């Protein structure tokens, strides 16, 4: 019961973030919303461990968090350079 | 590479293994220890392990810096939350450049990440020894330009 | 004693949920890309931290709390990195910051 409130709040914020991801307007807005959706989903998985009484869910949350970071950085890199980077070609560029 | 540094990496990896595995039978603990040692050995041979990946020398400074940073984060998150729910949305976004006085790459990353971690300010780009910062309000920008965070990160870096 | 901890953790998690909703609302409401990032970082810092601290109180001193601590560290080290990389990419692609006198329609270059 006490988790229901928190899960409800997280689901509401998930919906708000999805609306922003659908509205855009730039691709970076969508990537930002996707990143935030990943964080909220991670929190939901961490809570679900206590709701269902199965401790495996926090491992899922960890893996989800790692994939979220990698996904965000891949999207960012793709829309910055137009490809996922060829080592050696734009090395100076990557180094900033 | 110092021996102390390598041992610290092994211990960190081993603790990580223990927390993730959750089995404390002698066989599995031994396997975890052996694999941590092997990973560090291989990483040495490939020379992918360096001071930046495991900045042990910051251990003295962070214990006074992190609590201050947490308090700052809570304060600025509260401010930003009030701005969001304010009916007229009184924001005054500004782009500005902030000088950073850190010398090492780890210190600069620490400063830039601290700026981004605090809601209300985001480090957009690093140009030389300046950070391009986007602030949500004029007041937040002036707060950052006051330079207290810069001073504290430098102090943390200097204690290495 | 345990009832007090239960109530405290419920308050913390409730506050975390409220901050998550505020942050998501800010992402929806704010004008311009960079201002939305500030709202998203409220979710990443205060919302996530409060919920994880509440869960830590619930789990006590077990293996699950160790994993929750690792999750917390992951959020604290990686979310600013992801935010910075997104902001940097937007800056490189020429997304201009929203200014109050520009009206509602701005930063839609791209």
Question: Tens digit of pLDDT for each residue in B86-144?
Answer: 888 788 888 888 888 888 888 888 888 888 988 888 888 888 888 888 888 888 888 88
> Does the residue A89 lie in any domain?
no
B125 contact residues in C (CB cutoff 8 A): 88, 91-92
Q: Is B20 touching A (CB cutoff 8 A)?
A: yes
Instruction: Tell me which residue range forms the domain holding B126.
Output: 58-158
pLDDT exceeds cutoff 80 at C102: no
Are β-strands B121-127 and B130-135 bridged in parallel, bridged antiparallel, or unpaired? antiparallel
Q: Could you tell me if residue B53 is inside a domain?
A: no
Confidence of residue A41 (pLDDT cuts 50, 70, 90): very high
pLDDT at C32: 83
- Encoding tokens for residue A1? 């019961």
The first and second tokens of residue B39, run together, are 């990973």
Range of the domain at C21: 2-86
Contact C84 B95 (CB under 8 A): no
Nearest CB to B136 within list C35, C88, C92 = C35
Per DSSP, the three-state class of C98 is: coil
The answer to whether residue A93 is domain-embedded is no
For residue B50, being part of any structural domain is answered with: no
Q: What is the pLDDT of residue B94?
A: 85
One domain, residues B117 and B150: yes
Check if C42 contacts A (Cβ < 8 Å). Answer: no
| Closest CB to C63 among B22, B93, B95 | B22
In this predicted structure, the answer to whether residue C109 has a pLDDT above a threshold of 50 is no
Residue A95 pLDDT more than 50? no
Q: Are residues B70 and B106 in the same domain?
A: yes
Query: B65 vs chain A: nearest CA distance in angstroms?
Result: 25
Residues B75 and B153 in one domain: yes
* Domains in chain B, number: 2
Residue A38 lies in a domain: yes
The answer to whether the peptide bond before residue A25 is cis (omega within 30 degrees of 0) is yes
By the CB < 8 Å criterion, does C106 face chain A?
A: no
Q: Are residues B76 and B153 in the same domain?
A: yes
Distance from CA of B146 to the nearest CA of C (A): 20
Provide the β-strand partners of residue B95: B134
With respect to residue A21, please indicate whether it lies within any of the assigned structural domains: yes
Number of domains in chain A: 1
Contacts of B126 in chain A (CB under 8 A): 96
**3 state SS of A83:** coil
Say if residue B18 is in the same domain as residue B84: no
Residues near C55 by beta carbon (within 8 Å), at least 6 away in sequence: A46, A47, A49, A50, C9, C13, C68
Q: Are residues B66 and B132 in the same domain?
A: yes
ipTM surpassing 0.85, yes or no?
Answer: no
Q: Do A96 and B20 touch (CB under 8 A)?
A: no
In a domain, C105, yes or no: no
- Domain containing A75: what range? 2-84
The whole-number pLDDT of residue B30 equals 92
Name the percent of chain A lying above pLDDT 70.
83
């Amino acid at each position: 019961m006490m988790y229901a409130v928190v899960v409800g709040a997280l689901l509401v914020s998930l919906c708000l973030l999805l609306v922003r991801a659908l509205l855009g307007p730039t691709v970076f807005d969508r990537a930002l919303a996707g990143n935030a959706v990943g964080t909220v989903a991670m929190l939901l998985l961490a809570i679900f461990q206590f709701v269902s009484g199965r401790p495996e869910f926090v491992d899922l949350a960890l893996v989800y968090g790692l994939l979220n970071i990698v996904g965000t950085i891949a999207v960012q890199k793709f829309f910055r350079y137009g490809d996922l980077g060829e080592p050696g070609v734009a090395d100076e560029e990557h180094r900033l | 590479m110092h021996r102390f540094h390598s041992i610290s990496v092994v211990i960190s990896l081993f603790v990580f293994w223990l927390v993730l595995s959750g089995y404390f039978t002698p066989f599995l603990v031994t396997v975890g220890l052996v694999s941590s040692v092997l990973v560090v050995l291989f990483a040495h041979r490939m020379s992918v392990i360096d001071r930046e990946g495991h900045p042990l020398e910051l251990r003295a400074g962070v214990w006074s810096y992190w609590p201050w940073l947490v308090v700052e984060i809570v304060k600025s998150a509260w401010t930003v939350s009030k701005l969001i729910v304010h009916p007229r949305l009184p924001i005054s976004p500004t782009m500005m450049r902030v000088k950073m006085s850190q010398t090492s790459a780890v210190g600069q990353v620490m400063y830039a990440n601290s700026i981004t971690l605090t809601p209300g300010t985001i480090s957009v780009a690093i140009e030389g020894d300046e950070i391009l910062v986007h602030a949500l309000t004029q007041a937040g920008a002036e707060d950052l330009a006051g330079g207290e965070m810069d001073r504290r990160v430098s102090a943390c870096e200097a204690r290495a | 004693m345990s009832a007090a901890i239960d109530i405290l953790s419920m308050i913390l998690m409730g506050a975390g949920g409220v901050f998550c909703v505020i942050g998501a609302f800010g992402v929806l409401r704010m004008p311009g890309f960079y201002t939305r990032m500030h709202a998203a970082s409220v979710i990443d810092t205060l919302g996530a931290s409060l919920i994880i601290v509440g869960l830590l109180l619930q789990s006590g001193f077990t293996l699950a709390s160790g994993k929750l601590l690792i999750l917390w560290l992951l959020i604290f080290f990686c979310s600013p990195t992801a935010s910075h990389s997104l902001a940097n990419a937007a800056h490189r692609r020429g997304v201009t910051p929203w200014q109050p006198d520009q009206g509602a329609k701005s930063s839609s270059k791209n």
